[in-house]
Structure 1
Amino acid sequence: MANFPFDIVGFDLDGTLLDTGADLAAATNHALALAGRPLLAPEAVKAMIGRGAKAMLEQGLEASGGFDQAVMERVYPELLAYYEANIAVGTVPFPEMIEALDTLAGRGVQLAVVTNKFERLAVKLLDIMGLSSRFAAIIGGDTMGRGNAKPSALPIREMIRRCGGGRAAFVGDSIYDMLAAKNAGIPGIAVSFGFLMQPVEALQADAVIDRFGELETVLEAVGSRHGA
């Protein structure tokens, strides 16, 4: 089999590898209920996912009656506690994801996760889902320190370092994913089935996949264009 153009392929977590929308919506609505706010439809919460739990709750408060800092400080810890205790109740892998990871691993690719979810929560979720052992690196939104989550290039560069260096690409569902890849100087592949905050075309990705079964072929095409 011909050499694969990438040594490392990194993935966002929420909305890319796993459909975590039900559990994140439940945690958000738990916090909103404690604040005496109306609950939000799960689909509305999905559009708020991508920059971490705090940003998700900020948007949830704004959408349910207006942002209030005192309320935020009171219910944010409750959201985190609820989510950690119910982290995989409704979470499921996206279709064909496991097979895509198997295919890439079979091509000798190192796999990694770079998410804006807190590292401890990402590790716990991947452990419960039986996926942790597949990844050479799991990097969270707090791993590189305050202010250094995606779209910063730092977590992508750390991913490459932890995976031993080499040619890398990144797969995600948000503008923060694509900007992080661009800032790190590597190709970004967008998934059209994720928690999109805007049309997938607006992400300015190097390529888009509509299902995980397309990933290997698309990565080969992107690698060819980028001289990988």
Structure 2
Amino acid sequence: MTLIDSRPGIRVAYRALTDKTGVFVDADLAVTRLGPPLRTELAHWFPASELEEAVTTYRALYVDHAITPTVPMPGAVEALTAVRSLGLRVVVVTSKLGRLAALHLDHLGLVADELAGDLFAEGKATALTSHDVRWYVGDHVADMVAARTAGVPGIGVATGPCSVSSLQEAGAAYVLDDLTALPPLLRQLQLGEGASLQ
């Protein structure tokens, strides 16, 4: 919910998972909790003994159901343009599997210089550090944890499941309503190399 709005496609994929497995997943509820790894959500609906099979089934369904309905978040295209106009790189660090995140970016024509997937909270800090990221933009309190762990300022955007106040409490250096406010902030800060978008 930082660069892309994957809720429509994820909702369809969860409904397809219900049809395929016979296990009810409340897709409308699930899309309000995006951010944590897939297993975290599926553990609400499947017993532990069926969890890994459910993950595999969902990911197979995801390719056919979740990519096409996804749209860019407001200001996403302009944010990427602004990052590059300042001579910075776009490093996407996400809890989605990298191959699935790449399908979304390719479908929407959003280009990342680097992509690291299947990471969450402190786990994202490794990618932020290895790619020399100086600022991390994300929509979840766990993204602010990642930024703090990596020793870089986090920029929160309140377009996901986390409120402005919760992003601030998690340590965000700045909180924006959405990505439309990122280009002027970047210009104001005169950032160097290594900006990152989740």
TM-score by length of 2: 0.84
Equivalent-residue separation in structure 1 for 2:150 and 2:122 (angstroms): 9
Equivalent-residue separation in structure 2 for 1:206 and 1:219 (angstroms): 13
| Deviation string, structure 1 residues 149-170 (Cα, Å, up to 9, x no partner) | 432321211232xxxxxx6101
Higher helix fraction: Structure 1 or Structure 2? 2
Q: Which amino acid aligns with 1:20?
A: S
Percent identity reads 29
Q: Residue 174 of structure 2: which of 203, 207, 216 is its match? A: 207
Q: Residue 37 of structure 2: which of 52, 56, 80 is its match? A: 52
| Shift, 1:48, TM fit | 2.5
User: 5+ unaligned residues in a row in structure 1: which ranges?
Assistant: 1-14, 62-66, 142-147, 161-166
| Shift, 1:37, TM fit | 3.2
CA root-mean-square deviation: 2.2
| 1:177 alignment counterpart | 143
Q: Which amino acid aligns with 1:156?
A: L
| Shift, 1:212, TM fit | 1.8
Question: Would you identify which runs of 4 or more consecutive aligned residues in structure 1 move more than 6 Å?
Answer: none
Q: Residue 190 of structure 1: which of 156, 168, 174 is its match? A: 156
Match of 1:89, SS state, is: coil
Q: Residue 121 of structure 2: which of 144, 150, 157 is its match? A: 150
Given that 1:207 and 1:218 are in contact with CA atoms closer than 8 Å, whether structure 2 keeps it comes out as no
Instruction: Mark the structure with the bigger radius of gyration.
Output: 1
Structure-2 change in CA distance of 1:38 and 1:149 (3 Å): closer
Equivalent-residue separation in structure 2 for 1:177 and 1:31 (angstroms): 28
Equivalent-residue separation in structure 1 for 2:135 and 2:38 (angstroms): 25
Instruction: Give 1:47-196 correspondences, 5 Å limit.
Output: 47-59=32-44, 61=45, 67-132=46-111, 135-141=112-118, 149-152=120-123, 153-160=125-132, 168-194=134-160, 196=161
User: 5+ unaligned residues in a row in structure 2: which ranges?
Assistant: 192-198
Q: How many matched pairs? A: 187
